[in-house]
């Protein structure tokens, strides 16, 4: 299984280049302590990199934050989407995988919630950059869910995908707050009811 989001992998730090060490260190610290609470000096100590190197590579802390979100978003999608979409199962069965997969993520000791949700929550709401990054990530996930919903025969696959996405977001936030992975099972029941109500043409294989 690919490493999931927060923190990134268990790579041999000594073998990484300065950029990779900075992103790895920032990911660990941002996820566990928060972006605003993590100063540049803490990232530098964790990464073992000079301040001049950080500013030469990224230019600013904000650019480092963006790099972390982009790379961790890709890492999470590389895990979640193939696990969701692959195999010969019927589309409805694949849709039913969503919350068991999220439960796997919630059960990890390094689960700190969704970095995109956390970043948008922490940052200046008048700055669109964090929202743009979050929406790009969400759009990729929504597209896959919408595709499955369409293949399952949903009358309005886009709306159905958004309904499921809202349940996903709620489960992620609730699991982060409570540290209770079983909330994924509660969300799975709600998702099942939504899918049943959608009267899919191809509910099972």
Per residue in 48-99, pLDDT (tens digit) is 999 999 999 999 999 999 999 999 999 999 999 999 999 999 999 999 999 9
Burial group, residue 181, by CB count within 10 angstroms (0-12, 13-18, 19+): middle
- Rounded CA separation 165/49 (Å): 39
Alpha carbon separation from 97 to 28, 64, 84 (Å, rounded): 28, 33, 6
Q: Quick count: other Cβ atoms within 10 Å of Cβ 156?
A: 13
Report residue 76: phi and psi, to 5°. -65, -45
Model confidence over 102-139: pLDDT tens digits? 999 999 998 999 999 999 988 877 778 889 999 999 99
Q: Predicted confidence band at 2 (pLDDT cuts at 50, 70, 90)?
A: very low
Phi-psi region of 48 (alpha: psi -120 to 50; beta: other; left: phi over 0): left
């Amino acid at each position: 299984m690919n490493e999931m989001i927060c923190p990134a992998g268990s790579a041999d730090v000594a073998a990484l280049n300065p950029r990779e060490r900075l992103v790895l260190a920032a990911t660990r610290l941002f996820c566990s302590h928060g972006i605003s609470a993590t100063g540049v000096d803490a990232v530098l100590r964790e990464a073992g990199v000079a301040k001049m190197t950080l500013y030469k590579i990224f230019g600013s802390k904000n650019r480092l934050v963006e790099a972390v979100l982009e790379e961790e978003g890709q890492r999470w999608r590389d895990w979640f989407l193939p696990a969701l979409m692959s195999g010969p199962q019927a589309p409805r069965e694949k849709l039913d995988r969503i919350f068991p997969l999220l439960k796997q993520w919630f059960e990890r000791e390094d689960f700190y919630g969704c970095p995109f949700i956390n970043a948008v929550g922490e940052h200046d709401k008048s700055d669109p950059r964090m929202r743009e990054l979050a929406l790009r990530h969400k759009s990729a996930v929504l597209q896959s869910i919408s595709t499955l919903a369409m293949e399952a025969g949903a009358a309005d696959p886009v709306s159905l995908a958004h309904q499921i996405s809202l349940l996903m977001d709620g489960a992620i936030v609730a699991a982060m707050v409570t540290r209770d992975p079983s909330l994924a099972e509660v969300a799975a029941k709600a998702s099942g009811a939504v899918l049943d109500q959608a009267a899919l043409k191809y509910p099972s294989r």
